[in-house]
Amino acid sequence: MKVITIGLDRSLFEKNSDTRDRISQYGPMVREIHIIVFSPKGFKKDKIGDNIWLYPTNSSSKFFYITDAIKVGRKLMREKKIDLITGQDPFLSGLSAYVLAGKKRAKLLIGVYGTNIYDKYWLKESFKHRIFKIIGHYIFKRADAIQPDGLEASEELRKHYGDKVFWKPMIPSNIEEFKVEKRFNKDKFKVLFIGRLVKQKNLPALLNIIKAIIKDKKKGEIEFTIIGQGPFEDYFKDEIIKRELSDFIKMIPRVERAEIVSYFKDADIFILSSIYEGFPRVFMEAAAIGLPMVVTRVSGIGNLIKNKENSFVIEQGDEAGFVDAVNRLYSDSALLKQMSEKLKKNFWENYNFDITLNKQREIYNYLKKL
């Protein structure tokens, strides 16, 4: 089987990225994989292993991503007999994939790596998302298979599109690096946040939560490490100053892949106040190392988290619930360690990178038989 994949992940061009490593292990499952990546100008064609090729769109504007991807795809399809077109989302890349698949009657596989189109919080966030839902539904109806990464998303999509929905968790290829002994801090309680600084993460709520938590604590007793960049970065920095939180928050824009394990290992809990999610990589990394989480009820938690047993799940809008959960773990070291052990045990009994590979193989085999 020869495959064209269309997506937005430019980390494929980074020699040591997890995405590149994971994709390289899909190679033996098929004859060829040709990956078209939405990109601005300046990227070069590349190759991974013996049978995987990367093609940047090198678009002059993001408004031309779809048409440029279609041009690259059509050229490939004139040169090769393509059996399967994959879109890494049901919107921009999915639309490109749909056009190409329809042109040559190739099979169509659509990924859902993030929230699903029926998530009420995602729909509420932007009118644009309601338009995306219409596009997504149109693409899903015409796809031969759909592969979401979250269990909740899979269950929701199965209600609408039936047995062609296949759950495929995107376990990081380097997940074994997180299989290390967890240590907890005696002198300073450390809270970790990792994520893009965007509206989806509900940063105003996070700031409110931090302000309430530190109310009865002195400098040096608790520290929040915020790792991430994004359009709300300046807002977050300004709010830290306005709310007089500088003594309690440390911001780190970016951490290299090789260093990320140490931050999970050194933290006492992980916090995430997102409005919606898919199956975040950080959930898997936190669970793998045994870092208890305090998170909102989003898609992906059902894969790993058992509320009040190995972490705390807080309902949307319940800032007081966040504060109570963090303070409880802050003051109860025995509970913290107990949750850590249960979380880690549950993860390694149920997850490893082979699951991702086996699920991808299952999806390919299903499509070959159609």
Structure tokens at 354: 């082979």
The predicted pLDDT at position 329 comes to: 98
Length of the chain equals 370
**Per-residue model confidence as pLDDT tens digits over 257-281:** 889 999 999 999 999 999 999 889 9
Element (H, E) at 84: strand 84-87
- Average pLDDT estimate for 39-59: 98
- Percent of the chain exceeding pLDDT 70 equals 99
Distance separating alpha carbons of residues 288 and 204, to the nearest angstrom? 29
Domains of the chain: residue spans and CATH: 2-171+353-369 (3.40.50.2000), 175-350 (3.40.50.2000)
Q: What is the mean pLDDT of the chain?
A: 95
- Average pLDDT estimate for 154-162: 96
* 3-state DSSP assignment of residue 310: coil
Write the single-letter amino acid at 12: L
User: Angle CA(30)–CA(10)–CA(138) in degrees, nearest 5?
Assistant: 70
Q: Residue 104: pLDDT band by 50, 70, 90 thresholds?
A: low
Q: Is 161's pLDDT higher than 70?
A: yes
**Per-residue model confidence as pLDDT tens digits over 211-252:** 999 999 999 999 999 999 999 999 999 999 999 999 999 999
- Percent of the chain exceeding pLDDT 90 equals 90
Distance separating alpha carbons of residues 4 and 345, to the nearest angstrom? 38
**Per-residue model confidence as pLDDT tens digits over 108-139:** 999 998 888 999 999 999 999 999 999 999 99
Structure tokens at 98: 């749909």
Q: Is 73's pLDDT higher than 70?
A: yes
Q: What is the pTM of this model?
A: 0.92
The predicted pLDDT at position 185 comes to: 81
Write the single-letter amino acid at 321: G
**Per-residue model confidence as pLDDT tens digits over 80-95:** 999 999 999 999 999 9
Q: Is 103's pLDDT higher than 70?
A: no
